[in-house]
Amino acid sequence: MAEWRKYYPNEDDEVEEDEEDSGGDYKISGRDSLVFLVDASKEMFIKGEDGEPSNFDMTMQCVRSVYTSKIISSDKDLVALVFYGTEQSKNPRNSFKHVYVYHDLDSPGSQRLLDIEKLLGEKGAQFAEKTMGSGETSLGDALWCCSNLYSDIKLRLSHKRLMIFTCRDDPHRGDGAKDRQARTKAADLKETGVVIDLMHLTKPGGFDVSLFFCDIVSPPEDESELGLQIEPSRKLEDLQKRVRAKELKKRSQSRLTFSLGEGVNLAVGVYVLARTATKPSAVKLHRDTNEPVRTKTRYFHAHNGGILLPNDMKRAQVYGKKQIVMEKDEVDKIKKFDDPGLVLMGFKPMDRLKLHHHIRPALFIYPEEEQISGSSCMFTALLLQCSENNLFALCRYIPRRNTPPRFVALVPQREELDQSQSQATPPGFHVIFLPFADDIRTVDAHVGPTASDEQVDKMKEIVHKLRFKYKSDAFENPVLQQHYRNLEALALNMLEPEPIEDLTMPKVQMMNARLGPLAQEFKDLAYPPDYNPEGRPAAKRKTAESGGGAAEKKPKVEMSEEELKNHVAKCTLGKLTVPVLKDAYACKQFGIRSTGTKKQELIDALTMHLSK
Partner 1 sequence: MARSKEPLVLCMDVGFSMSNSEPGQEPSFEQAKKVIQKFVQRQVFAENKDEVGLVLFGTDGTKNGLAKDGQYENITVHRHLMMPDFELLEEIESELQPGGQQADWLDALVVCMDLLQKETMGKKFERLNIVLLTDLNVQTSADQLDVIIDSLKKAGITLQFFLPFPVDGEDRADGGGDGPGPSAAPARPGKGLSRQQTQGLEMVKNIMTSLEEEDSLEEVYTFSDALQKLSIFKRIDRRPMAWPCQLTIGSSLTIRIVGYKAVTEEKVKKSWAIVEAQSHQRDDVKRETVYCLDDDNETEVQKDDTIQGFRYGSDIVPFSKVDEDQMKYKSDGKCFSVLGFTKQELVRCSPFMGSQVVKVFAPRDDEHAAVALSALIRALDSLKMAAIVRYAYDRRSNPQVGAAFPCIKEKYECLLYVQLPFMEDLRQFTFPVLENNKKFTPSASQLSAVDALIDSMMLVEKDEDGESVDVFKVNHFPNPQFQRLFQCLHHRGVNPDDPLPPVEPWLKRDLERPQAVSARCQTALQDVKTKFPLKVVVKKKEQKTSADVFGSRGAFLTGIFRSSGICSSKVKNRPPAHVELKTSCLQHALLFSDALTLISKDEVDGSTFSKQDANQVLIAYSLQVLRSSFEIFLF
Question: Which residues have CB under 8 Å from 543's CB, separation 6+?
Answer: none
The catalytically annotated residue of 6, 27, 471, 540 is 27
Strands 254-261 and 341-349: parallel
Hey, CA dihedral for 103, 106, 112, 117, is it positive or negative? positive
How far apart CA 429 and CA 394 sit, in angstroms, is 11
Instruction: Name the minimum Å distance from CB 334 to partner 1.
Output: 5
In 3D, which of 511, 451, 449, 505 has the Cα closest to residue 477?
Answer: 505
With contacts defined by CB under 8 A, how many residues of the chain interact with partner 1?
230
What does each C-alpha distance from 564 to 317, 410, 553, 571, 606 come to in angstroms?
Answer: 22, 54, 21, 10, 9
Residues 6+ apart with CB under 8 A from 333: 402
Cα–Cα dist 389/372, whole Å: 27
Site for partner 1 in 331-360 (CB under 8 A): 331, 333-335, 337-338, 343-349, 352, 354-360
27 labelled catalytic: yes
Q: Of the listed pieces 37-45, 118-126, 142-150, 152-160, which binds partner 1 according to CB under 8 A?
A: 152-160
Angstrom distances, CA of residue 120 to CA of 61, 124, 545? 7, 4, 59
Q: Applying CB under 8 A, does 22 fall inside the site for partner 1? A: no
Binding mask 570-609 for partner 1 (x = CB under 8 A): xxx-x-------------------------x---------
Q: Is 555 in the site for partner 1 (CB under 8 A)?
A: no
* SS3 category, 194: strand
Cβ-based nearer residue to partner 1, 51 or 509: 509
> Whole-number minimum distance, CB 464 to partner 1, in Å?
8
Site for partner 1 in 155-214 (CB under 8 A): 155-156
SS3 366: strand
Contact 86, 100 (CB under 8 A): yes
Rounded to an integer, what is the distance from CA 227 to the centroid of its chain? 27
Q: Which is nearer to partner 1, 85 or 428 (CB)?
A: 428
Q: How far is the CB of 172 from partner 1 (least distance, A)?
A: 31
Interaction between residue 10 and partner 1 (CB under 8 A): no
* List 470, 540, 555, 596, residue binding partner 1 (CB under 8 A): 470
Q: Does 501 bind partner 1 (CB under 8 A)?
A: no
Work out how close the CB of 602 gets to partner 1 at its nearest, in angstroms, rounded to a whole number. 13
**Per rule CB under 8 A, is residue 228 in the interface with partner 1?**
no
Q: How far apart are CA 265 and CA 262, in angstroms?
A: 8
Q: Which is nearer to partner 1, 120 or 487 (CB)?
A: 487
Spatial CB neighbours of 487, under 8 Å, sequence gap ≥ 6? none
Mark 238-277 with x for binding to partner 1 (rule: CB under 8 A) and - for no binding: ---x--xxx-x-x---------xxxxxxx----xxxxxxx
Exactly one of 531, 539, 555, 556 binds partner 1 (CB under 8 A); which one? 531
Q: Which residue, among 248, 52, 265, has the nearest Cα to 158 in the 3D structure?
A: 248
Q: Which residues between 47 and 86 bind partner 1 (CB under 8 A)?
A: 67, 70-73, 75
Regarding 553 and contact with partner 1 (CB under 8 A), the answer is: no
**Which of 160-168, 183-191, 196-204, 419-427 is the region at the interface with partner 1 (rule: CB under 8 A)?**
419-427
| Least Cβ distance, residue 144 to partner 1 (angstroms) | 25
Indicate the DSSP class of residue 489.
Answer: H
CB of 174 to partner 1, least distance (A): 35
Concatenated DSSP letters of 495-545: SSPPPPP-TTS--HHHHHHHHTTHHHHHHHHHS-TT--TT--THHHHHHHH
| Comparison of 208 and 338: residue with beta carbon closer to partner 1 | 338
Residues catalogued as catalytic: 27
